[in-house]
Amino acid sequence: MRKQEGARSRRLLVSTTGVLLLALPVLSSCVNLAKSNPERQYYALDVTRQAGAGAPVAGTVLEVRRFVVSPAFQGQELVYRTDDTRYESDFYNQWFVPPSTMLTQQAQNWLINAQLFEHVVAASSYIDSTHRLEGTVTDLYGDYRQKDRRKAVVGIRMVLIEDNPNRTAIVFQRDYHQMVEVTDASPDGLTLAWNQGLEQVFRAFEQDLRGVDLGTNHQRPASRR
């Protein structure tokens, strides 16, 4: 009788051990699934220029072409420079829209409010333009090489082209480059510093355009049919 009870006890122990061993991967899987991963955060640059009260050059239409972004910064991840030759992208902190789309729209909004041209339109417009703006983003990263002197870096090459029946020619071009101190090293603080740098670029570009004769050679365009 005792032998039978002992045998049953051993079988029960073996059976229970097997169940536990089978359950371990399931329990482990449940633990892993329940573990929370960092969520992605999304950012956007937004600079605002109050609408001016100036007098735009009559008959001028500026077409803002889609900005070209350097391959190093055209992805949606925020980019940090951590060494003289090393850059890192941030998988968990990204732009809400691609930098090219975002910066093109910001430039267009700024120039609409600057009131230098009678009309400012996108490249998809059916209105013929007297001028077009081509922008190339050369820098858009956080310079984190020095922990106590982090900077937000933005660089844009602006090219203004006069394009009308009289001529097609570059009437203005310049490289703009700004480095703004980052007081908060978080992505939020970096984005705020980028906003400041982008605003400085646009203000300098606007000031330069005010010294360009925008109406010397243009003719009033006609709508495309």
pTM confidence score: 0.79
Task: Provide the residue-wise pLDDT of the chain in tens; the chain has 225 residues.
Answer: 544 555 454 444 444 444 434 443 443 444 444 446 789 999 999 999 988 767 899 999 999 999 999 999 999 999 999 999 999 999 999 999 999 999 999 999 999 999 999 999 999 998 899 999 999 999 999 999 998 899 999 999 999 999 877 778 999 999 999 999 999 989 999 999 999 999 999 999 999 999 999 985 544 444 443
- For 193, the token pair is 């510093």
pLDDT tens track for 30-43: 444 444 678 999 99
